[in-house]
Homo-oligomer: A and B are copies of this chain.
Amino acid sequence: LYLMPADSPHPLLSLADYERAACEILDPAALSYIAGGATDEVTLRDNVAAWRRLALRPRMLVGVGRRDPSVELLGVRRPHPLLIAPTAFQRLAHRDGEIATARAAAATSTIICLSTFATTTPEALAEAVPDAPRWFQLYVFSDRGVSRDLVARAVEHGYEALVVTVDVPVAGVRERELRAGVRSLHGEQLASAAAAGASGEMTPADFGELVDPDLSWDDIERFVAESPLPVLVKGILTAEDALLAVAHGASGVIVSNHGGRQLDTVLSGADALPAIVEAAADQLDVLVDGGIRRGTDVVKALALGARAVLIGRPILCGLAVDGAQGAQRVIEILLAELDNALALAGSPQASNLDATFVMPAPWPDRSR
């Protein structure tokens, strides 16, 4: 169970270690894009802090010699509850970009969600790493033809679900990026076929402006009707919207604030989750992302009713530090911590976790 790599010169024992290492490696502009959030970054910081405001209620003497982290997701048994969140432009973190991430996904049986704004096309990824379980994340452009085309290519190349991101009708105000001068950075990544609606030199913000700000629940219903894949709506933070997702036929919602990059001072996933689970978890699958850094965070998310969790920045940090191997190691650390936490929380079956295992922490939030 102990996690230290034998004779490692850099003992990277935790996801926090990978984050620190990535901060030293990445160039400032890429770092600002990967690490930054919206305006004052209140929500960005709180995504991590919110999980620590929950305490675990461990049970003893239940027999934990064999642990089983598997969960059921969209009706399918998966070996564990981790997914790789869709993050754009992964070549900013490492030259191998999404292909490396897919290798880490394949090695650990983790679903990778490929971003519309990936620096790899959906077909290139499927061909390079055919055994990576994969979902496709869709930004819906004002030009709906682009979106339909992307969905068709995803269906054709073995993507198993469609994640429609709905919290970017316009781009957030990301001052850290602006200060670091992200504007002039991405020339070489523009070959991305995912950026089918794009042309010439573009920035993350430019991509953001391709997205249709008038996307509506009717559009979601249309995607559900037209797509052979289950549709998950990503970016939901209220019970009201989770119920609308049910009403419009979604198979799941991903409780998310877009990594704190869109509207500052909205709730973290950890805090938004319970009301959404209560309202809608009996009708669709609820997933959550944002701030998951420890196995105990995963246990808490499942105990609160999430079926699975998505990991974003830590994967990029793993990529930055050591490419596919770094991303894989990040997942392995989290899986080892999850195994340990299941044993010590007295819930050897991940799928048996329920709300009795978690409570508001009596301690104050000591994060700065």
Residue A355 lies at the interface, judged by CB distance under 8 Å to chain B: no
Interface-central residue, A50, A64, A169, A345, by most chain B CB under 10 Å: A169
Q: In the bound complex, do residue A215 and residue B61 qualify as a contact, i.e. CB atoms below 8 Å apart?
A: yes
1/0 per position for A49-63, CB-CB distance to B under 8 A?
Answer: 110111111111111
Q: Specify which chain B residues have a CB less than 8 angstroms from the CB of A3 in the assembled complex.
A: 173, 175, 178
In the complex, chain B residues whose CB is within 8 Å of the CB of A62: 216
Looking at chain A's contact residues, is the secondary structure mostly helix, strand, loop, or mixed?
Answer: loop
Whether B241 lies near A56 (C-beta < 8 A) is: no
Q: Is the CB of A264 within 8 A of B59?
A: no
Residue pair B241, A61 in contact (C-beta under 8 Å) = yes
Taking CB atoms and an 8 Å cut-off, the chain A residues in 301-333 that contact chain B are none
Report A265-306 residues with CB < 8 Å from chain B CB: 265-268, 271, 294-296
In the complex, chain B residues whose CB is within 8 Å of the CB of A366: 45, 367-368
Residues of B contacting A179 with CB < 8 Å?
11, 13
Q: Report A245 CB to chain B, min CB distance, Å.
A: 9
Q: Which of A214, A217, A265 has the most CB of B within 10 A?
A: A265
Interface presence of A158 (CB below 8 A): no
CB <8 Å contact, B169 and A64: yes
Q: Judging by beta carbons under 8 Å apart, are A61 and B244 in contact?
A: yes
A265 and B54 contact, CB distance less than 8 A: yes
**Contact segment of A18-26, A75-83, A356-364:** A356-364
Q: Is the CB of A363 within 8 A of B263?
A: no
Contact A178 to B2, CB < 8 A, known contacts A60-B166, A237-B57, A363-B50: yes
Closest residue on chain B to residue A204 by CB atoms? B2
Contacts of A295 in B (CB 8 A): 173
Contact check, B61 vs A178: say whether CB atoms are below 8 A apart: no
CA distance A214 to B336 in the complex (A): 19
Q: Are A365 and B363 in contact (CB under 8 A)?
A: yes
Q: Does A220 contact B (CB under 8 A)?
A: yes
Residues of chain B with a CB closer than 8 A to A294's CB: 39-40, 264
Please name all residues of chain B whose beta carbon is closer than 8 Å to the beta carbon of A14 when the two chains form the complex.
39, 175
Which residues of A, 200-223, contact B by the 8 Å Cβ criterion? 205, 209, 212-217, 219-220
CB distance from A176 to the nearest CB of B (A): 10
Select which of B40, B56, B214 is within 8 A of A63 by beta carbon: B214
Pair A296/B264 contact, Cβ less than 8 Å: yes
A238 proximal to B (CB < 8 A): yes
Determine whether A170 belongs to the interface, using a CB cutoff of 8 Å to chain B.
Answer: yes
CB nearest neighbor in B for A57: B238
Given contacts A57-B237, A61-B215, 10 further A-B contacts (CB under 8 A): A1-B209, A39-B296, A49-B363, A53-B362, A54-B265, A57-B266, A57-B267, A61-B216, A63-B215, A271-B362
14 contacts between A and B (CB under 8 A): A3-B173, A11-B179, A13-B175, A40-B294, A50-B362, A58-B237, A59-B241, A60-B241, A61-B166, A64-B169, A167-B344, A169-B344, A173-B337, A265-B296
Q: Which 9 A-B pairs have the closest CB atoms?
A: A263-B344, A65-B214, A65-B213, A4-B178, A60-B166, A364-B365, A63-B214, A271-B362, A170-B343
